[in-house]
Structure 1
Protein backbone atom coordinates (compact mmCIF):
# COMPACT_ATOMS: atom_id res chain seq x y z
CA UNK A 1 0.00 0.00 0.00
CA UNK A 2 2.99 2.32 -0.26
CA UNK A 3 2.92 2.69 -4.03
CA UNK A 4 0.81 5.41 -5.66
CA UNK A 5 -2.66 4.03 -5.83
CA UNK A 6 -6.32 4.65 -6.22
CA UNK A 7 -7.78 7.14 -3.80
CA UNK A 8 -7.80 6.22 -0.12
CA UNK A 9 -11.08 5.64 1.66
CA UNK A 10 -11.40 6.33 5.37
CA UNK A 11 -11.63 2.62 6.18
CA UNK A 12 -8.67 1.69 3.94
CA UNK A 13 -6.57 4.41 5.55
CA UNK A 14 -7.56 3.26 9.05
CA UNK A 15 -6.59 -0.33 8.26
CA UNK A 16 -3.31 0.66 6.61
CA UNK A 17 -2.25 2.83 9.55
CA UNK A 18 -3.18 0.15 12.09
CA UNK A 19 -1.17 -2.47 10.18
CA UNK A 20 1.80 -0.24 9.35
CA UNK A 21 5.22 -1.50 10.37
CA UNK A 22 6.26 2.15 10.74
CA UNK A 23 4.48 2.36 14.08
CA UNK A 24 5.54 0.21 17.01
CA UNK A 25 2.98 -1.88 18.89
CA UNK A 26 0.66 0.38 20.85
CA UNK A 27 2.05 3.59 19.34
CA UNK A 28 -1.09 4.45 17.39
CA UNK A 29 -4.83 4.07 17.89
CA UNK A 30 -7.27 4.77 15.05
CA UNK A 31 -10.99 5.25 15.68
CA UNK A 32 -13.76 6.44 13.41
CA UNK A 33 -15.32 9.35 15.28
CA UNK A 34 -18.66 8.39 16.84
CA UNK A 35 -19.88 11.97 16.32
CA UNK A 36 -18.54 12.37 12.77
CA UNK A 37 -18.38 9.10 10.79
CA UNK A 38 -16.32 10.80 8.06
CA UNK A 39 -13.50 11.63 10.52
CA UNK A 40 -10.72 9.29 11.61
CA UNK A 41 -9.30 10.06 15.05
CA UNK A 42 -5.64 9.05 15.23
CA UNK A 43 -4.01 9.08 18.63
CA UNK A 44 -0.21 9.05 18.65
CA UNK A 45 0.76 7.71 22.06
CA UNK A 46 4.46 8.39 21.42
CA UNK A 47 3.71 12.08 20.87
CA UNK A 48 2.20 12.98 24.22
CA UNK A 49 -1.14 11.28 23.52
CA UNK A 50 -1.88 13.88 20.84
CA UNK A 51 -5.00 13.27 18.77
CA UNK A 52 -5.07 14.07 15.07
CA UNK A 53 -8.26 14.22 13.02
CA UNK A 54 -8.23 12.99 9.43
CA UNK A 55 -10.90 13.53 6.80
CA UNK A 56 -10.63 11.80 3.43
CA UNK A 57 -12.28 13.90 0.74
CA UNK A 58 -12.56 13.47 -3.02
CA UNK A 59 -9.16 15.01 -3.78
CA UNK A 60 -7.34 15.46 -0.49
CA UNK A 61 -6.76 14.16 3.00
CA UNK A 62 -7.03 16.88 5.62
CA UNK A 63 -5.25 16.24 8.92
CA UNK A 64 -5.59 18.55 11.93
CA UNK A 65 -5.10 18.82 15.66
CA UNK A 66 -6.58 21.33 18.07
CA UNK A 67 -3.95 23.28 20.02
CA UNK A 68 -5.24 25.64 22.72
CA UNK A 69 -7.94 28.30 23.16
CA UNK A 70 -7.15 31.62 21.50
CA UNK A 71 -8.14 33.47 24.68
CA UNK A 72 -5.52 31.47 26.65
CA UNK A 73 -2.72 32.96 24.54
CA UNK A 74 -0.99 35.80 26.41
CA UNK A 75 -1.33 38.28 23.52
CA UNK A 76 -3.27 36.69 20.63
CA UNK A 77 -2.66 39.57 18.19
CA UNK A 78 1.10 39.54 18.80
CA UNK A 79 1.21 35.73 18.56
CA UNK A 80 -0.70 35.74 15.27
CA UNK A 81 1.53 38.47 13.80
CA UNK A 82 4.63 36.53 14.85
CA UNK A 83 3.26 33.33 13.31
CA UNK A 84 2.53 35.06 9.99
CA UNK A 85 6.12 36.30 9.88
CA UNK A 86 7.71 32.98 10.90
CA UNK A 87 5.26 30.37 9.68
CA UNK A 88 7.48 28.77 7.02
CA UNK A 89 10.34 27.99 9.37
CA UNK A 90 8.25 27.08 12.43
CA UNK A 91 5.64 24.84 10.82
CA UNK A 92 6.93 22.64 7.98
CA UNK A 93 4.11 20.91 6.10
CA UNK A 94 1.54 22.58 8.40
CA UNK A 95 -0.70 25.60 8.53
CA UNK A 96 -2.23 27.38 11.53
CA UNK A 97 -5.86 28.44 11.71
CA UNK A 98 -8.38 29.74 14.23
CA UNK A 99 -11.47 27.58 14.45
CA UNK A 100 -14.63 27.64 16.53
CA UNK A 101 -15.08 24.65 18.83
CA UNK A 102 -18.31 24.71 20.82
CA UNK A 103 -18.50 28.51 20.72
CA UNK A 104 -14.85 29.13 21.69
CA UNK A 105 -11.98 29.99 19.34
CA UNK A 106 -9.03 27.57 19.26
CA UNK A 107 -5.79 27.48 17.36
CA UNK A 108 -5.65 24.47 15.09
CA UNK A 109 -2.72 23.03 13.17
CA UNK A 110 -3.51 21.33 9.87
CA UNK A 111 -2.07 19.93 6.70
CA UNK A 112 -3.51 18.67 3.42
CA UNK A 113 -2.24 16.08 0.99
CA UNK A 114 -3.43 14.21 -2.06
CA UNK A 115 -5.95 11.46 -1.50
CA UNK A 116 -3.58 9.35 -3.63
CA UNK A 117 -0.57 9.89 -1.36
CA UNK A 118 1.53 6.92 -0.36
CA UNK A 119 1.23 5.49 3.12
CA UNK A 120 4.76 6.74 3.85
CA UNK A 121 3.63 10.29 3.03
CA UNK A 122 0.54 9.97 5.23
CA UNK A 123 2.68 8.72 8.13
CA UNK A 124 5.15 11.58 7.63
CA UNK A 125 2.26 14.06 7.70
CA UNK A 126 0.92 12.60 10.96
CA UNK A 127 4.30 12.70 12.68
CA UNK A 128 5.12 16.18 11.36
CA UNK A 129 1.86 17.73 12.53
CA UNK A 130 2.11 16.02 15.93
CA UNK A 131 5.73 17.11 16.44
CA UNK A 132 5.01 20.65 15.24
CA UNK A 133 2.05 20.93 17.63
CA UNK A 134 4.17 19.81 20.59
CA UNK A 135 7.05 22.13 19.70
CA UNK A 136 4.74 25.08 19.09
CA UNK A 137 3.02 24.58 22.45
CA UNK A 138 6.35 24.32 24.27
CA UNK A 139 7.98 27.26 22.49
CA UNK A 140 5.21 29.86 22.08
CA UNK A 141 2.03 28.47 23.59
CA UNK A 142 0.37 29.82 26.70
CA UNK A 143 2.14 29.01 29.94
CA UNK A 144 -0.57 26.49 30.87
CA UNK A 145 -0.04 24.52 27.63
CA UNK A 146 3.75 24.26 28.01
Structure 2
Protein backbone atom coordinates (compact mmCIF):
# COMPACT_ATOMS: atom_id res chain seq x y z
CA UNK A 1 0.00 0.00 0.00
CA UNK A 2 1.47 3.34 -1.05
CA UNK A 3 -0.90 5.85 0.47
CA UNK A 4 0.44 6.34 4.00
CA UNK A 5 0.32 10.09 4.56
CA UNK A 6 0.91 10.15 8.30
CA UNK A 7 4.55 10.83 9.17
CA UNK A 8 4.35 10.44 12.95
CA UNK A 9 5.82 7.20 14.27
CA UNK A 10 3.90 4.70 16.39
CA UNK A 11 5.70 6.07 19.47
CA UNK A 12 3.62 9.25 19.19
CA UNK A 13 0.37 7.27 19.15
CA UNK A 14 1.63 5.10 21.99
CA UNK A 15 2.02 8.25 24.11
CA UNK A 16 -1.47 9.44 23.13
CA UNK A 17 -2.87 6.00 23.91
CA UNK A 18 -1.25 5.83 27.35
CA UNK A 19 -2.50 9.32 28.19
CA UNK A 20 -6.05 8.37 27.18
CA UNK A 21 -5.95 5.28 29.40
CA UNK A 22 -4.61 7.28 32.36
CA UNK A 23 -7.42 9.80 31.94
CA UNK A 24 -9.87 6.90 32.18
CA UNK A 25 -8.35 5.88 35.52
CA UNK A 26 -6.67 2.72 34.21
CA UNK A 27 -3.28 1.44 35.36
CA UNK A 28 -0.68 -0.70 33.63
CA UNK A 29 0.16 -4.22 34.88
CA UNK A 30 2.85 -6.39 33.34
CA UNK A 31 2.15 -10.10 32.86
CA UNK A 32 4.22 -13.02 31.61
CA UNK A 33 2.53 -15.60 29.38
CA UNK A 34 3.32 -18.22 26.78
CA UNK A 35 3.28 -16.80 23.23
CA UNK A 36 0.41 -19.05 22.19
CA UNK A 37 -1.82 -17.42 24.81
CA UNK A 38 -1.39 -13.88 23.46
CA UNK A 39 -4.78 -13.86 21.72
CA UNK A 40 -6.57 -15.03 24.88
CA UNK A 41 -4.85 -12.32 26.92
CA UNK A 42 -5.93 -9.68 24.41
CA UNK A 43 -9.58 -10.68 24.88
CA UNK A 44 -9.28 -10.72 28.69
CA UNK A 45 -7.55 -7.33 28.69
CA UNK A 46 -10.38 -5.79 26.67
CA UNK A 47 -12.91 -7.05 29.23
CA UNK A 48 -10.93 -5.71 32.19
CA UNK A 49 -10.57 -2.23 30.75
CA UNK A 50 -14.28 -1.57 31.21
CA UNK A 51 -14.41 2.16 30.38
CA UNK A 52 -11.93 1.91 27.52
CA UNK A 53 -13.53 -1.28 26.24
CA UNK A 54 -15.35 -0.64 23.01
CA UNK A 55 -18.57 -1.66 24.80
CA UNK A 56 -20.01 -3.63 21.92
CA UNK A 57 -19.81 -7.22 20.81
CA UNK A 58 -18.38 -7.56 17.35
CA UNK A 59 -20.55 -10.63 16.79
CA UNK A 60 -23.59 -8.38 17.00
CA UNK A 61 -22.49 -6.33 14.01
CA UNK A 62 -24.64 -6.58 10.92
CA UNK A 63 -22.87 -9.21 8.83
CA UNK A 64 -24.60 -8.83 5.47
CA UNK A 65 -21.97 -10.50 3.33
CA UNK A 66 -23.12 -13.62 1.53
CA UNK A 67 -20.86 -16.63 1.16
CA UNK A 68 -18.03 -15.95 -1.31
CA UNK A 69 -19.16 -12.34 -1.84
CA UNK A 70 -16.20 -9.96 -1.93
CA UNK A 71 -16.17 -6.53 -0.31
CA UNK A 72 -15.59 -3.42 -2.39
CA UNK A 73 -14.02 -0.36 -0.80
CA UNK A 74 -17.26 1.62 -1.04
CA UNK A 75 -19.40 -1.16 0.44
CA UNK A 76 -16.94 -1.75 3.27
CA UNK A 77 -16.75 1.97 3.96
CA UNK A 78 -20.54 2.12 4.32
CA UNK A 79 -20.66 -0.98 6.53
CA UNK A 80 -17.95 0.33 8.86
CA UNK A 81 -19.53 3.80 8.86
CA UNK A 82 -22.80 2.23 10.04
CA UNK A 83 -21.12 -0.01 12.64
CA UNK A 84 -20.95 0.67 16.37
CA UNK A 85 -17.20 1.13 16.02
CA UNK A 86 -17.81 4.44 14.22
CA UNK A 87 -21.23 5.33 15.66
CA UNK A 88 -19.86 5.27 19.20
CA UNK A 89 -16.85 7.35 18.10
CA UNK A 90 -14.28 4.66 18.76
CA UNK A 91 -13.03 5.27 15.22
CA UNK A 92 -13.56 7.54 12.22
CA UNK A 93 -13.22 6.59 8.59
CA UNK A 94 -12.74 8.14 5.16
CA UNK A 95 -12.10 6.95 1.61
CA UNK A 96 -8.83 7.95 -0.03
CA UNK A 97 -9.60 8.00 -3.75
CA UNK A 98 -7.14 6.94 -6.44
CA UNK A 99 -6.38 4.11 -8.83
CA UNK A 100 -6.20 1.83 -5.81
CA UNK A 101 -8.63 3.43 -3.38
CA UNK A 102 -8.21 2.63 0.29
CA UNK A 103 -9.77 3.45 3.65
CA UNK A 104 -8.11 5.73 6.18
CA UNK A 105 -9.32 4.65 9.63
CA UNK A 106 -8.42 6.61 12.77
CA UNK A 107 -8.66 4.48 15.91
CA UNK A 108 -9.53 7.00 18.61
CA UNK A 109 -9.30 4.49 21.45
CA UNK A 110 -5.67 3.89 20.49
CA UNK A 111 -4.39 7.46 20.61
CA UNK A 112 -5.90 8.34 17.20
CA UNK A 113 -3.71 5.72 15.54
CA UNK A 114 -4.17 5.82 11.73
CA UNK A 115 -4.74 2.57 9.87
CA UNK A 116 -4.95 2.06 6.12
CA UNK A 117 -7.12 -0.66 4.58
CA UNK A 118 -6.96 -1.82 0.97
CA UNK A 119 -8.58 -4.64 -0.98
CA UNK A 120 -6.54 -6.50 -3.58
CA UNK A 121 -6.33 -10.03 -4.99
CA UNK A 122 -9.18 -11.34 -2.83
CA UNK A 123 -7.48 -10.02 0.31
CA UNK A 124 -8.10 -7.21 2.74
CA UNK A 125 -4.83 -5.69 3.97
CA UNK A 126 -4.77 -3.41 7.01
CA UNK A 127 -1.52 -1.67 7.93
CA UNK A 128 -0.06 0.90 10.28
CA UNK A 129 3.21 2.80 10.27
CA UNK A 130 5.60 1.87 13.10
CA UNK A 131 8.73 4.00 12.59
CA UNK A 132 11.39 4.91 9.99
CA UNK A 133 14.18 2.38 9.47
CA UNK A 134 16.83 5.05 10.03
CA UNK A 135 15.90 5.64 13.69
CA UNK A 136 16.59 2.02 14.66
CA UNK A 137 19.92 1.78 16.51
CA UNK A 138 21.06 -1.63 15.22
CA UNK A 139 18.79 -2.77 12.38
CA UNK A 140 20.32 -6.24 11.97
CA UNK A 141 19.95 -7.10 15.64
CA UNK A 142 16.49 -5.57 15.70
CA UNK A 143 15.31 -7.55 12.67
CA UNK A 144 16.53 -10.74 14.29
CA UNK A 145 14.60 -9.98 17.47
CA UNK A 146 11.44 -9.36 15.43
CA UNK A 147 11.73 -12.84 13.93
CA UNK A 148 12.17 -14.41 17.37
CA UNK A 149 9.25 -12.55 18.95
CA UNK A 150 6.74 -12.47 16.07
CA UNK A 151 4.31 -14.81 17.89
CA UNK A 152 3.75 -12.16 20.55
CA UNK A 153 1.54 -10.20 18.13
CA UNK A 154 -1.31 -12.45 16.96
CA UNK A 155 -2.73 -11.88 13.46
CA UNK A 156 -0.10 -9.21 12.69
CA UNK A 157 3.21 -9.14 10.83
CA UNK A 158 6.04 -6.59 10.82
CA UNK A 159 7.66 -5.68 7.51
CA UNK A 160 9.72 -2.94 5.82
CA UNK A 161 8.05 -0.88 3.11
CA UNK A 162 9.16 1.99 0.87
CA UNK A 163 6.75 4.92 0.93
CA UNK A 164 6.02 7.40 -1.85
CA UNK A 165 8.88 9.70 -0.85
CA UNK A 166 11.38 6.84 -1.10
CA UNK A 167 11.93 6.44 2.64
CA UNK A 168 11.98 3.02 4.29
CA UNK A 169 9.66 2.38 7.21
CA UNK A 170 8.72 -0.48 9.47
CA UNK A 171 5.03 -1.24 9.21
CA UNK A 172 2.73 -3.69 10.93
CA UNK A 173 -0.03 -5.29 8.92
CA UNK A 174 -2.71 -7.94 8.99
CA UNK A 175 -4.47 -9.76 6.15
CA UNK A 176 -7.80 -11.53 5.84
CA UNK A 177 -10.13 -12.70 3.11
CA UNK A 178 -11.97 -10.05 1.09
CA UNK A 179 -15.17 -12.00 1.83
CA UNK A 180 -14.68 -11.87 5.61
CA UNK A 181 -17.57 -11.00 7.90
CA UNK A 182 -17.73 -7.41 9.10
CA UNK A 183 -17.23 -8.56 12.68
CA UNK A 184 -13.96 -10.25 11.68
CA UNK A 185 -12.76 -7.10 9.92
CA UNK A 186 -13.50 -4.98 13.00
CA UNK A 187 -11.68 -7.53 15.15
CA UNK A 188 -8.68 -7.23 12.81
CA UNK A 189 -8.70 -3.43 13.15
CA UNK A 190 -8.75 -3.63 16.94
CA UNK A 191 -6.15 -6.39 17.11
CA UNK A 192 -3.74 -4.58 14.80
CA UNK A 193 -4.14 -1.35 16.78
CA UNK A 194 -3.44 -3.15 20.04
CA UNK A 195 -0.42 -4.92 18.53
CA UNK A 196 1.05 -1.63 17.25
CA UNK A 197 0.97 -0.20 20.77
CA UNK A 198 2.43 -3.37 22.28
CA UNK A 199 5.18 -3.59 19.64
CA UNK A 200 6.21 -0.01 20.35
CA UNK A 201 6.49 -0.87 24.05
CA UNK A 202 8.32 -4.13 23.37
CA UNK A 203 10.93 -2.64 21.02
CA UNK A 204 11.36 0.88 22.36
CA UNK A 205 14.90 0.11 23.55
CA UNK A 206 15.92 -0.30 19.89
CA UNK A 207 14.65 3.13 18.87
CA UNK A 208 16.75 6.29 18.85
CA UNK A 209 14.35 8.59 20.71
CA UNK A 210 16.29 11.71 19.69
CA UNK A 211 15.36 11.10 16.04
CA UNK A 212 11.62 10.82 16.66
CA UNK A 213 9.37 13.62 15.42
**Common topology (TM > 0.5):** yes
Match status 1:7 vs 2:70: yes
Q: Mark the CA change 1:110 to 1:57 in structure 2 (over 3 Å): closer, same or farther.
A: same
Shift of 1:103: 1.6
Instruction: Find 1:98's aligned residue among 148, 153, 160.
Output: 160
Q: Can you list the C-alpha shifts for 1:126-145, whole angstroms capped at 9, x where unaligned?
A: 01111111111122032536
The answer (yes or no) to whether the contact 1:59–1:114 under 8 Å persists in 2 is yes
- Structure 1 runs of 4+ off > 4 angstroms? 34-37
In 1: Cα distance, 2:183 partner to 2:97 partner: 27
Match status 1:55 vs 2:118: yes
Shift of 1:23: 4.8
Look up the SS of the partner of 1:116 in the other structure. coil
Q: How does 1:131-146 map to 2 (within 5 A)?
A: 131-141=194-204, 142=207, 144=209
Rg larger in structure: 2
Q: How does 1:1-146 map to 2 (within 5 A)?
A: 1-2=62-63, 4-5=65-66, 6-23=69-86, 25-34=88-97, 38-88=101-151, 90-101=152-163, 102-141=165-204, 142=207, 144=209
In 2: Cα distance, 1:36 partner to 1:42 partner: 19
**Alignment RMSD, CA only?**
1.8
Q: Can you list the C-alpha shifts for 1:92-129, whole angstroms capped at 9, x where unaligned?
A: 10111101121211001011100110111000100111
TM-score by length of 2: 0.63
The answer (yes or no) to whether the contact 1:18–1:28 under 8 Å persists in 2 is no
Q: Mark the CA change 1:143 to 1:23 in structure 2 (over 3 Å): closer, same or farther.
A: farther
Question: Alignment length, in residue pairs?
Answer: 144
In 2: Cα distance, 1:76 partner to 1:13 partner: 37
Quick check: which one's helix share is greater?
2
Look up the SS of the partner of 1:130 in the other structure. helix
Q: Mark the CA change 1:143 to 1:128 in structure 2 (over 3 Å): closer, same or farther.
A: farther
In 2: Cα distance, 1:24 partner to 1:139 partner: 32
Shift of 1:4: 4.7
